[in-house]
Structure 1
Amino acid sequence: MHNAKLKKTGTTLATAIAVAAAGLSLTTSHAMADGWEPEEQLNITIAFGPGGGNDVLSRTLIDILEKYELYPENIVATNRPGGSGAVGWGYVFNQEGNPYHLSTTSGSFIATPLQADTPWDTMSFTHIALMAADDQVLVVNSESDIQDFDDYLEWARENPPAVGGIGSVNNDFIVAQLLSQEAGYDYDYVPFNQQGELTTALLSRSIDAMVATPGSVIGLIESGDFRALAFSGETVPDALEGVPSFAELGYGDAAVAMPRGLIMPPGVPEEAREWWIDTIAQVVETPEWAEYVEANFLTENVQFGDDFTDFLESTINNFETILTETGAI
């Protein structure tokens, strides 16, 4: 399935694969988990503002659910930005036991409770699926004299830059922090809650550079407003041809991927969790999902249920080590 790394726990994937292979329409009949099926409106909380990775993932998911009639009732998405995701995920946390609430994850889902005193942590929720990994690109305003990463490095060592990103301790911060430490320069990190605000700041040159997911800035790179200097992933996408990877530049340790996943409130009935695991198994088999992954330069890495929980536990340990070593916590 699109070269994805696919794991599934506690449910049957054969049905989803068989349906996709046969080219049949996807319907809710695939996932009538014993004792539960949805009968109410679905509410999706987006823990950041419009235009960012969480927002794009959530709305792509909605489009696929609606197109293939995978969810039988209305779906409403609400942006609840603030506190590096703490506001939105706090709202979901307070819906304990309610199977009609979903949210997507990012690096802040792991990093925020490590840094802030939130009433919830990453393990508090019902884990449905890891769906993809998201890398970052370092960009500057194209009107800057900085033409490539070597220029940036030389300038940054003499003039500590203001580098923007989404969230106080999100992947953007971790990548910016590790890169500065490895490359040997000081900088000021400027956090934003919404991609639009971050983009505006760089367009107006209120900040000197930013770390962002490629999908959120590719249009401005292609239009010539932004200049990409380096990409954190292993394989540089065609749309960023000529842009070096962190590894090529000798700073591979600064590459930390962002987990794009799906969660529900704590205490959701296991039958509802299984229904959603089955449903997402169908979502990631659609051509629309493959197009989303390609268009947003993601690495597809699909893990379900308990495997997603194990992934989160491992990532928490990794983030905690990085944030402690960098002095963020």
Structure 2
Amino acid sequence: MRTKLITAAAAAALTVSLTACGAGSTGSEGSGGGDYPSEPLDWTIAFGPGGGNDIMARTMVDILQKEELYPENIEIQNREGGSGATGWGYLLGQSGSGYGVSTTSGSFITTPLQADTGWEPTDFTPVGLFATDDALLLVPGEGPIDTWEQWVEAAKAERLVVGGIGTVNVDFIVSAMLAEQAGYEVEYVPFNEEGQLQTALLSGAVDAMISNPGSILGQVEAGDMQPLISTAPERLDVLPDVPTAEELGFEGIPSMPRGLILPPDAPAEAQEWWIDTMKEVVETPEWQAYLDENYLSEDLRWGEDFTSYLTETQDRFEEILTEHGAL
């Protein structure tokens, strides 16, 4: 099996066929007939290449293919735009199908809070939450700022610019809460994908950026970027000199939840198959290596437990965003 790139026209045609299949064949798929899965899988990544969501999705696909867990082709498309709204809106259009899937991130929770997406996180069929992704605040490696204390001093002297993924997202929440609790103000600039964000930092278009360790560790090791603070519960082994927000006295800084969803009203057989299969995936050495290499904290919640987590987290994020005037 191999991942195939498909044209936009082919993707549209595939969506129609898969939606029709899911909606019209619930008898065989929902009755335990054992027909699932028997068609190609349409895997949507709601952000551009290179970011944490993209890395996680492609890691999952690699494991599914290597272990021969999915018997048909898996067709991956990056459908970025609107802080994830474009990609998850595409998945919404596959309602009733068991052959669409997408990975989630913080934007899955925050984007519906500030935009008329036409969907809520709980509209989709939950598979599971697998991990939470901690964040770093980084500055250019060759700049005048090397420590968190220097950053705070500079930010209090003049209004600096921080970039992150999404208009209202976990990146925004982290930046806003750090600024509020440290006593400075910043301008937040949103980007649609990680590559654009990194280019903006390295070119001087922004003064700092919020990102996760797995996406930028190479640039840090090369000296191109300097992390100043981490939201991880403990200092990362690979970044032993970078203090955590907790040890500096910050409270309530959130992490980014990473999970997997199917379209709304997916057949019960499809949901059960994915829960059972992903329980196998998260036990593989490859998945454990992915968690270690990307410095993720494992957090496993399946089916309706994932939905409950989404509801509780969205309520918390809405409260924080409202307090900071973002909503």
Q: TM-score, normalised by structure 1?
A: 0.89
**Counterpart residue number, 1:192:** 191
**Counterpart residue number, 1:163:** 162
Q: Give the CA deviation at 1:84.
A: 0.5
1:184-234 superposed Cα distances (whole Å, 9 cap, x missing partner)? 111110101110000001111110000101111111011110001000111
Question: Contact 1:45 / 1:103 at 8 angstroms: preserved in 2?
Answer: yes
Q: Give the CA deviation at 1:251.
A: 1.4
Structure with more contact order per residue of length (Cα contacts < 8 Å, sep ≥ 6): 1
Runs in 1 of length 4+ with deviation above 4 angstroms? none
**Counterpart residue number, 2:118:** 119
**Counterpart residue number, 2:96:** 97
Q: Give the CA deviation at 1:65.
A: 0.0
Question: Contact 1:232 / 1:252 at 8 angstroms: preserved in 2?
Answer: no
**Counterpart residue number, 1:304:** 302
1:138-169 superposed Cα distances (whole Å, 9 cap, x missing partner)? 10001110010000000000111110001111
**Counterpart residue number, 1:202:** 201
**2:88 aligned partner, one-letter code:** W
**Counterpart residue number, 2:3:** none
**Counterpart residue number, 1:79:** 78
Q: Give the CA deviation at 1:35.
A: 2.7
SS at match of 2:234: coil
Q: Determine whether 1:151 maps to 2:150.
A: yes
CA RMSD of aligned residues (A): 1.2
Question: Contact 1:48 / 1:194 at 8 angstroms: preserved in 2?
Answer: yes
**Counterpart residue number, 1:278:** 276
Q: Give the CA deviation at 1:252.
A: 2.9
1:64-95 superposed Cα distances (whole Å, 9 cap, x missing partner)? 00000000000011001111000000000111
**1:71 aligned partner, one-letter code:** Y
**2:127 aligned partner, one-letter code:** I
Match of 2:254 among 253, 256, 263: 256
Q: Give the CA deviation at 1:34.
A: 2.6
Aligned partners of 2:120, 2:312: CA distance in 1, in Å?
14
**2:281 aligned partner, one-letter code:** V
**Counterpart residue number, 2:4:** none
Q: Give the CA deviation at 1:298.
A: 0.1
SS at match of 1:249: coil
**Counterpart residue number, 2:314:** 316
Aligned partners of 2:33, 2:210: CA distance in 1, in Å?
45
Q: How does 1:11-160 map to 2 (within 5 A)?
A: 34-36=32-34, 37-160=36-159
SS at match of 2:156: helix
Q: Give the CA deviation at 1:237.
A: 1.4
Q: TM-score, normalised by structure 2?
A: 0.89
Unaligned stretches of 5+ residues in structure 1? 1-32
- Structure 1 vs Structure 2: percent identity of aligned residues? 53
**Counterpart residue number, 2:11:** none
Q: Give the CA deviation at 1:235.
A: 1.4
Question: Contact 1:62 / 1:75 at 8 angstroms: preserved in 2?
Answer: yes
Aligned partners of 1:198, 1:298: CA distance in 2, in Å?
21
1:246-292 superposed Cα distances (whole Å, 9 cap, x missing partner)? 01111133x20100000011010111100000000000000000000
Question: Contact 1:232 / 1:246 at 8 angstroms: preserved in 2?
Answer: yes
Q: Give the CA deviation at 1:313.
A: 1.1
**2:206 aligned partner, one-letter code:** I
**2:134 aligned partner, one-letter code:** D
Aligned partners of 1:49, 1:194: CA distance in 2, in Å?
5
Q: How many residues align?
A: 297
Aligned partners of 1:204, 1:91: CA distance in 2, in Å?
33
Aligned partners of 1:214, 1:172: CA distance in 2, in Å?
13
SS at match of 1:239: coil
**1:143 aligned partner, one-letter code:** E
**1:284 aligned partner, one-letter code:** V
**Counterpart residue number, 2:220:** 221
